[in-house]
Structure 1
Amino acid sequence: MAGKRRTEADDVPYLLPLQLALGAALLGIWELAGANQVSSLASRPSLVLARLWLWITTDLHVHVATTLTEMILGLAIGTTLGVLAGITLGRSPLLSTLLRPLIVAAYSVPLIALVPLIIMFFGIDMLPKIVLISIVVFFLLLFNTFSGVQAIDKDMIASIQIMGSTQREEFQKVIAPAAMAWIIGGVKTALPYALVAATTGEMLASRSGVGFLVMRGAQRFDMPALYAGLLVLMIIGLLISDIATRIEKWMLRWRHAAE
């Protein structure tokens, strides 16, 4: 139709070339700035890509695997504990009121302040990073799950209780489906925080991981290595975000189909 309004989807074919052109222009400016030694901190994209290729052909996979392993284990532990705690507190007004000040106080402690304490307890291998990620993810899932349980229609719960349902049936038929969207949203939100926690732990105390590569580059004033490490983190973050979005859509479609 001649009078049909354009939508955002209509602009997608034109958007990608513009984004690529903008990226190429920025890289060109960066390359020129580095070539003319505008700043000793600028480096050059060509040097960064050369360093990245050197890593790819040697041991980058080891460092990426370390970071991803820490993230996956930390996410699994933090999500499990956070969901269980969120459901428990959401179903118990007395317990949630009793523990609320303690939870808020613990959550207010800056992430970076926990690292020395965790290192003292667990050393500098993979375990302290997993613990750090688990703590971050735990609180995010706790708050999201708690909010999801609190948002459940009380009349719906009362109705199923009148029908003589057990607590297990109440959980399976009402609580879990209603809180699922909140839990999925919490996991999606927790993913970038998990990457930040893993990187922070690796930068402060580690022998492996992408964060370790970034910190090693900074300590040696090796700017190509520093920027290459940041580029790897950006790529990991983009891939994680895309995967999380796809999983979220699939889970929500599955939930609607089940209903």
Structure 2
Amino acid sequence: MEYVNTDMLNAVSLTFKLALVTSVLLLLIVMPLAWFLANWRHSAKSFVLSIFALPLVLPPTVLGFYLLIAFSPESALGAWWLDLFGSTLAFSFEGLVLGSLIYSLPFALQPLYSGFTQLNKGYLEVATSLGFSPLETFFRIVLPQCKAAVIVAFGLSFAHTVGEFGVVLMIGGNIPTETQVLSIALYEQVEALEYERAHVMSLGLLVFSFVALALLYRFDGNKRHSAVSQHRVDS
């Protein structure tokens, strides 16, 4: 039996394309959001954070079901998309991207929010005294100091998107080269009793997940060690 075929390679390519697009867009969207939340003082803050963290505990099929309804041509969003682009949002790559943005959002938000809240506010005071604008302060002071949080946010959202199943199945179905990502292709192989190919896909996802997490933990640990050492020197 041929363990790797064209359909499998297409699924791998589509999966990593989806993960890359989702992770880049998430960083652009979540960085200003996390910075705002880290500096926001309001009694409703815990409620707002709970809303953004909901995908962490909500069953993926539940979220996928409501997204499928929202993406259908009968909904306002789905009808607007159909009028604008001439294609449906459901069962399309664009729909997968939008669904992945929502499903993976907390995996990008949490590391950035944690990094921004732990930032030494003394750096901000120095930047203000030097006449930096808020935008200059964010790009020249905040982001370099929180580089580890940015990398962890990107890595976690990428790895999480690679492993999506319930949401992508509900809103994307199983269309080869269009919405058939690796987790869906794996499910299809199991249904067809093609266990050898299923083993290859599963092992590949297992190795990728382990390596990705090991690298992120190692990078984050090294960064924290450097930060502690620098703090001791400064003290």
TM-score (norm 1): 0.63
Give the 5 Å matches for 1:65-80. Answer: 65-80=13-28
Q: How far apart are the structure 2 equivalents of 1:239 and 1:146?
A: 24
Q: How far apart are the structure 2 equivalents of 1:131 and 1:111?
A: 17
Q: Structure 1 residue 118: deviation in Å?
A: 1.9
- The structure with the larger Rg is 1
Q: How far apart are the structure 2 equivalents of 1:245 and 1:152?
A: 19
Contact 1:140–1:186 under 8 Å retained in 2 = yes
Q: Structure 1 residue 101: deviation in Å?
A: 0.4
SS across alignment from 2:99:
helix
Counterpart of 2:198 in structure 1 is 226
1:118 aligns with 2:118: no
Q: How far apart are the structure 1 equivalents of 2:205 and 2:2?
A: 15
Counterpart of 2:50 in structure 1 is 104
Counterpart of 1:134 in structure 2 is 101
Q: Counterpart amino acid of 2:200?
A: A
Contact 2:8–2:185 under 8 Å retained in 1 = no
1:52 aligns with 2:32: no
Point out which structure has higher relative CO (alpha carbons under 8 A, 6+ apart): 2
SS across alignment from 1:131:
helix
Give the 5 Å matches for 1:164-243. Answer: 164-197=131-164, 199-204=165-170, 205-207=173-175, 208-237=180-209
Counterpart of 2:85 in structure 1 is none
The answer to which structure has the higher helix fraction is 1
Counterpart of 2:38 in structure 1 is 90
Contact 1:78–1:135 under 8 Å retained in 2 = no
Contact 1:79–1:141 under 8 Å retained in 2 = yes
Unaligned runs of 5+ in 1: 1-49
Contact 1:79–1:137 under 8 Å retained in 2 = no
Contact 1:82–1:137 under 8 Å retained in 2 = no
Q: Structure 1 residue 85: deviation in Å?
A: 0.6
Contact 1:71–1:194 under 8 Å retained in 2 = yes
Deviations 1:2-32 (A, max 9, x none): xxxxxxxxxxxxxxxxxxxxxxxxxxxxxxx
Q: Counterpart amino acid of 2:34?
A: G
Identity rate of aligned residues, in percent? 11
Counterpart of 1:158 in structure 2 is 125
Measured at CA, do residues 167 and 116 of structure 1 come closer, stay the same or move farther in structure 2, by a change above 3 Å? same
Q: Counterpart amino acid of 2:37?
A: L
SS across alignment from 2:146:
helix
TM-score (norm 2): 0.68
Contact 1:86–1:141 under 8 Å retained in 2 = no
Measured at CA, do residues 203 and 160 of structure 1 come closer, stay the same or move farther in structure 2, by a change above 3 Å? closer
Q: How far apart are the structure 1 equivalents of 2:3 and 2:207?
A: 12
Report the number of matched residues: 197
Q: How far apart are the structure 1 equivalents of 2:181 and 2:126?
A: 52
Q: How far apart are the structure 1 equivalents of 2:197 and 2:128?
A: 61
Q: How far apart are the structure 2 equivalents of 1:51 and 1:116?
A: 35
Measured at CA, do residues 213 and 166 of structure 1 come closer, stay the same or move farther in structure 2, by a change above 3 Å? closer
Pairwise CA RMSD of aligned residues? Answer: 3.1
Counterpart of 2:10 in structure 1 is 62
SS across alignment from 2:163:
helix
Measured at CA, do residues 51 and 212 of structure 1 come closer, stay the same or move farther in structure 2, by a change above 3 Å? farther
